[in-house]
């Protein structure tokens, strides 16, 4: 009960209140979110990522933790692709290949980063940043190919959060002390990113078609429960083989991997499916269904990682 009151609820409640607010705004208004999207993706989120990394300039760089987090992200993404392969084989639905990118790629940005921050603080957020960089880079490269049969290096190179991650990591690795006024300014702008991202997540859920509910529920379950199983198995193997120990940092890495691995489907795949007209009517309800499932599963996962990983 203490874990629920002190760790789980304080992390969950603010996020889902903001999601609900965004949904209500979406139901009552018809705003054009293009400006907010551009400002968040090109300015405030990169600032937040850089700020989180740069603030660690006077601490030892967590090279091993970053390596394990990056490897874990890859295992989770490609592991869930394997689950989709077996699911489509068993159901004899070869026409549903859009399920691959829908299930593989994770809402590691607006939802996961917020939870990482609220549940585990800056150190958890840093691991979430690396998770997001790997996940999003693959989504706009491999995911772009799976959805639209396009593969463009330019698309990846236009992602400012990658450069923010590199710059912040260099500041941390080489222990570069930036002026306090610079750090405060960057942090001030970055703090706007997560609330706006979560608001937009809620807003985007306003017009969902439920005609493909069976597909949506199956895909949502594969994303969340399959991702939970694979991330838990990866953490178990890493711990048993000694790549992860029982230090505070290693335990935090395990928690972030399991939590992020069990996140809902990424909104970015819906945007790609809409752009290339690749069954967006199937992708949208899957994203929504997985997000609804997350209302029940995220508190349980957070409770589990805080109870068992100590």
pLDDT, mean of residues 234-248: 91
In this structure, of 58-62, 206-210, 249-253, 268-272, the range with the lowest mean pLDDT score is: 206-210
Query: What is the average pLDDT value for the chain, to the nearest integer?
Result: 84
Predicted confidence (pLDDT) per residue in 4-38, tens digit: 566 556 767 777 788 789 889 988 888 877 787 77
222 neighbors 87 (Cβ within 8 angstroms): yes
Sequence-separated contacts (24+) of 183-187 with Cβ below 8 Å: 183/51, 183/54, 183/55, 186/47, 186/50, 186/51, 186/54, 187/47, 187/48, 187/51, 187/55
224 neighbors 298 (Cβ within 8 angstroms): no
Looking at residue 238, its pLDDT comes to 93
Q: Taking each helix axis from N to C terminus, what angle separates 267-275 and 193-204, rounded to the nearest 10 degrees?
A: 60
- The SS3 call for residue 278 is coil
H/E stretch holding 237 reads helix 227-240
Looking at residue 253, its pLDDT comes to 93
- If you average pLDDT over each of 51-65, 132-146, 242-256, which comes out highest? 242-256
At residue 255 the predicted structure's pLDDT band, cuts being 50, 70 and 90, is very high
* Nearest residue to 81 via CA among 93, 98, 66, 61: 98
DSSP annotation of 43 reads: I
Looking at residue 287, its pLDDT comes to 81
- Neighbouring CB atoms inside 10 A of 173's CB total 14
* Nearest residue to 72 via CA among 308, 253, 267, 266: 253
* Nearest residue to 298 via CA among 63, 44, 99, 112: 112
List % helix, strand, coil for the chain (3-state, nearest 5). Answer: 80, 0, 20
In this structure, of 14-28, 141-155, 162-176, 283-297, the range with the lowest mean pLDDT score is: 141-155
pLDDT, mean of residues 134-153: 78
Instruction: Give the predicted TM-score (pTM) of the model.
Output: 0.80
pLDDT exceeds cutoff 60 at 1: no
pLDDT exceeds cutoff 80 at 206: no
At residue 294 the predicted structure's pLDDT band, cuts being 50, 70 and 90, is confident
Residue written as token pair 């309800």: 285
Radius of gyration of the chain (CA): 19
Predicted confidence (pLDDT) per residue in 167-191, tens digit: 888 998 899 998 989 889 998 988 8
Looking at residue 212, its pLDDT comes to 66
80 neighbors 226 (Cβ within 8 angstroms): yes
Predicted confidence (pLDDT) per residue in 104-143, tens digit: 999 887 678 888 888 888 889 888 888 988 888 788 778 8
pLDDT exceeds cutoff 80 at 304: yes
At residue 228 the predicted structure's pLDDT band, cuts being 50, 70 and 90, is very high
Say how far apart CA 210 and CA 163 lie, in whole Å: 39
What end-to-end distance do the CA atoms of the chain give, in Å?
A: 16
pLDDT, mean of residues 65-73: 90
């Amino acid at each position: 009960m203490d874990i629920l009151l002190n760790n789980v609820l304080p992390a969950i409640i603010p996020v889902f209140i903001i999601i609900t607010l965004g949904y209500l705004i979406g139901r009552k208004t018809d705003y054009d979110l293009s400006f907010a999207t551009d400002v968040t993706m090109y300015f405030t989120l990169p600032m937040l990522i850089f700020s989180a990394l740069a603030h660690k300039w006077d601490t030892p760089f967590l090279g091993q933790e970053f390596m394990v987090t990056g490897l874990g992200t890859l295992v989770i993404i490609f592991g869930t692709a394997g689950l989709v392969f077996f699911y489509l084989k068993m159901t004899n639905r070869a026409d549903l290949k859009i399920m691959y990118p829908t299930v593989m790629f994770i809402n590691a940005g607006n939802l996961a980063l917020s939870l990482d921050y609220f549940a585990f603080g800056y150190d958890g957020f840093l691991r979430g940043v690396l998770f997001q960089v790997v996940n999003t880079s693959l989504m706009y490269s491999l995911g772009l190919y799976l959805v639209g049969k396009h593969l463009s290096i330019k698309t990846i190179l236009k992602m400012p959060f990658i450069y923010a991650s590199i710059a912040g990591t260099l500041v941390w690795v080489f222990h570069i002390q930036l002026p306090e006024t610079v750090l405060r300014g960057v942090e001030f702008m970055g703090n706007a990113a997560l609330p706006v991202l979560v608001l937009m997540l809620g807003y985007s859920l306003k017009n969902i078609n439920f005609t493909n509910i069976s597909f949506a529920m199956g895909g949502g379950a594969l994303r969340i429960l399959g991702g939970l199983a694979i991330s838990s198995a990866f953490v178990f193997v890493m711990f048993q083989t000694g790549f992860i120990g029982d230090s505070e940092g290693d335990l935090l890495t395990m928690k972030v991997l399991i939590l992020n691995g069990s996140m809902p489907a990424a909104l970015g795949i819906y945007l790609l499916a809409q752009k290339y007209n690749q069954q967006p009517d199937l992708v949208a309800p899957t994203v929504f269904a997985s997000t609804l499932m997350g209302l029940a599963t995220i508190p349980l996962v957070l409770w589990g990682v805080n109870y068992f990983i100590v």
